[in-house]
Amino acid sequence: MQNTSQVSLALREIAALLEFAKAPKFKVKAYQRAVEVVDTVADLAPLVEQGRLEELAGIGASLSGQIEELWNTGHSQFLTRLRRELPEGASELIQLEGMTPRRLRALVDALGVRSVAELRAACVAERVRTLPGFGKKTEERLQQACDRWLNRGDEQPLPTLLSKALERAALLEQELAAASERVQLVGELRRGQETVRELEWVVLGDTAEPLRRLGGLRQVLRVEPERASAHLSEALRLQLHSASREAWGNCVVLATGSTAHVAALRLRAAARGFSLAGWDEAPSPGCPARAFASEQELYAALDLPFVPPELRQGEHELLRAERGELAGLIREEDVQGMVHCHTTYSDGKNSIAEMAAAAHALGMRYLTITDHSPSAHYANGVSLDRLKAQWDEIAAAQENTPVRLFRGTESDILADGRLDYPDSVLERFEVVIASIHARYRMDRAAMTARLISAMSLPIFKIWGHGLGRILNHRDAIDCDVPAVLDALAGSRGAIELNSDPHRLDLPPEWIPAARERKIPFVISVDAHSTRGLGVLRYGALMARRGGLRRSEVLNSESPERFAALVSPTQRGRS
Ligand SMILES: [Zn+2]
Ligand SMILES: [Zn+2]
């Protein structure tokens, strides 16, 4: 399952089931302790990969084997057996807050509850309080725990990052495809939203069998067949939509959204004298409903080319589609160079040569080495004396790789808007990315002034992770973005679209404002390891959401042209 919190959840469930099954205390304790230990580890990956799990206190050979199995296969044979042997629903019920093995036994034996939903119903009917050992208070607390479990409580858990949701969706889609002839991902994930709460698919015909198949997966906590939906771990919901072959196109477009895009399509259909089958409760007599077997046919009937899902935001995409402007939209495979890479010279995990080899393996023609500047102490920023050594190492690595290596830096934008390193040094880099890494909370006026003064420097060429947000963790900085974009346009700088799935920054909703000002972009990886180069697809997706064309993305150019366009000493682009 390659996910530390998932391993922890599985171990927690094993402990609870063992306790319910009256297993020896020491055995239950061992699993409970393992949960605590795993919860303290930020990332299990290195420990599993290097076979070092047993270095953790309390993890012996047997537990380490179980954790490895969970990590590598996503399943535990032991857990599967426990679930099979115990009463139906026990594994979810035992995880409720306030549930003890004794209480569960009483509820199962006396009331026959088999799910959290059934327990909740029993609480509402005030049947739980009639059992010996249960009072009114306990019943109320259990009902609240049921509500939290069923997501009916107030607190909204954090949404899931795009990268993780795509990974999860790929796995679930395999299962769906095995149970249904035709499956299409739709909804906010298909539109490439940075974070999502729901995974949605359209399936051909009935949803019962695909849903039943999903019910057997570890990631699926609970299935609601009557709503064609399911609850997944990490607070994700799953929704299936059933479609016929004839109206497949209608259903897929409708379920992909966005609401505003669909509303615009509906208006267009009405103007052409028809409505779209499945969209209007009662189509008016002069407006017969039409069904389309594919999305392409639906758009064609509206005199439009196919609109890529990531552009369906209900803003100007129909206008742009009409004008034929969607044809040259940037694609991941257009990118020729990996921009924004860290190495062991600052906080990266791999050497220059290793990063170059990895970029080569991905078919890249160039790579910019942009380690942190000295003021980034926490990230081991490269001091002037170490810079000389790095440039020598870049030159040596260049001898052994066909990938063109560019000497660069990710220079801090200091609090007063100056860049780190003296100008005489900055001018000798081939690529300068300038980013904010400290003092995120300046007020709007000060932050705007800071950025505008940085961007007015002739050396300023690429604005790194623009608004400094970390999804689910840190808000964007407060600044007057249009004013900052004006300054950047004036200095002929470019904007980075950072592909790190935790950043996806500059947020794509600002791309149109930058395009209007003719500001070009780079799609960067901000890689801190060779593995980190794999995130490019997310940045490319954000670029497409913003409607960027290939001609607007500098690292879709050849190495020579890219170098000329971003050179810190160049005097403006032609
Ligand atoms: Zn940075
Ligand atoms: Zn960086």
Which helix (H) or strand (E) is 405 found in, with range?
strand 404-412
The CA distance from 164 to 7, in Å, is 16
What average pLDDT score do residues 145-161 get? 76
pLDDT tens digits, residue range 65-91? Answer: 999 999 888 888 899 888 888 877 887
What average pLDDT score do residues 298-308 get? 97
* pLDDT confidence of residue 152: 54
When the pLDDT of each residue in the chain is averaged and rounded to a whole number, the result is 91
CA of 93 to the centre of ligand 1 (A): 45
Rounded to the nearest 5°, which phi and psi values hold at 544? -65, -40
What average pLDDT score do residues 384-402 get? 96
* pLDDT confidence of residue 177: 95
CA of 346 to the centre of ligand 2 (A): 10
CA of 467 to the centre of ligand 2 (A): 14
Q: Could you say which ligand is closest to the alpha carbon of residue 408? A: 2
The CA distance from 271 to 183, in Å, is 31
Kindly state the tokens that stand for 283: 């189509």
What are residue 527's DSSP bridge partners? 341
* pLDDT confidence of residue 349: 94
Q: Which residue has the tokens 């939203």?
A: 193
* pLDDT confidence of residue 285: 72
pLDDT tens digits, residue range 40-67? Answer: 776 788 888 888 888 777 788 889 999 9
Cβ atoms of 434 and 465 within 8 Å: the answer is: no
* pLDDT confidence of residue 337: 98
CA of 464 to the centre of ligand 1 (A): 7
* pLDDT confidence of residue 156: 65
Q: Which residue has the tokens 């259909």?
A: 269
Q: Is the pLDDT of residue 281 over 80?
A: no
CA of 490 to the centre of ligand 2 (A): 25
Q: Is the pLDDT of residue 573 over 50?
A: no
What average pLDDT score do residues 119-135 get? 93
Kindly state the tokens that stand for 529: 């390891």
* pLDDT confidence of residue 574: 41
What pLDDT band is residue 282 in, cutting at 50, 70 and 90? low
CA of 477 to the centre of ligand 1 (A): 14
Q: Is the pLDDT of residue 26 over 50?
A: yes
CA of 394 to the centre of ligand 2 (A): 18
Q: Look at phi and psi of residue 186 and say left if phi exceeds 0, alpha if psi is from -120 to 50, else beta.
A: beta
Report the sign of the C-alpha dihedral through residues 488, 494, 500, 506, in that order: positive
The residues, ordered by sequence, that sit 6+ positions from 118 with a Cβ below 8 Å of its Cβ are 89
CA of 434 to the centre of ligand 1 (A): 8
Helix (H, G, I), strand (E, B) or coil at 98: coil
CA of 526 to the centre of ligand 1 (A): 7
* pLDDT confidence of residue 427: 93
Kindly state the tokens that stand for 81: 């057996």
pTM of the model: 0.74
What pLDDT band is residue 572 in, cutting at 50, 70 and 90? very low
3-state helix, strand, coil in the chain (%, to 5): 45, 15, 40
CA 55 to chain centre: 31
CA of 467 to the centre of ligand 1 (A): 11
CA of 13 to the centre of ligand 1 (A): 39
Cβ atoms of 555 and 339 within 8 Å: the answer is: yes
Q: Which residue has the higher pLDDT, 222 or 104?
A: 104
Lowest mean pLDDT among 292-301, 542-551, 563-572: 563-572
Per-residue DSSP letters for 23-68?
--HHHHHHHHHHHHHHHH-S--HHHHHTT-GGGSTT--HHHHHHHH
pLDDT tens digits, residue range 218-269? Answer: 778 778 888 899 888 777 899 999 999 999 999 999 999 999 999 999 999 9
Which helix (H) or strand (E) is 210 found in, with range?
helix 208-214
What average pLDDT score do residues 7-34 get? 87
Q: Which residue has the higher pLDDT, 150 or 171?
A: 171
CA of 42 to the centre of ligand 2 (A): 21
* pLDDT confidence of residue 3: 79
Q: Could you say which ligand is closest to the alpha carbon of residue 340? A: 2
Q: Could you say which ligand is closest to the alpha carbon of residue 437? A: 1
* pLDDT confidence of residue 32: 86
Cβ atoms of 44 and 4 within 8 Å: the answer is: yes
* pLDDT confidence of residue 279: 75
Q: What angle do CA 400, 372, 508 make, to 5 degrees?
A: 100
The CA distance from 307 to 396, in Å, is 47
* pLDDT confidence of residue 196: 96
CA of 411 to the centre of ligand 2 (A): 9
* pLDDT confidence of residue 351: 97
Per-residue DSSP letters for 208-261?
HHHHHHHTTSTTEEEEEGGGTEEEESTT-EEEEEEE-STTHHHHHHHHH--HHH
CA 198 to chain centre: 12
CA of 371 to the centre of ligand 1 (A): 9
* pLDDT confidence of residue 35: 84
CA of 339 to the centre of ligand 1 (A): 12
CA of 503 to the centre of ligand 1 (A): 10
The residues, ordered by sequence, that sit 6+ positions from 221 with a Cβ below 8 Å of its Cβ are 92, 230, 231, 232, 233
The CA distance from 105 to 113, in Å, is 10
Q: Is the pLDDT of residue 336 over 70?
A: yes
CA of 412 to the centre of ligand 1 (A): 8
* pLDDT confidence of residue 149: 82
> β-strand 198-204 against 229-232: which pairing, if any?
unpaired
High-pLDDT (> 70) share of the chain, %: 97
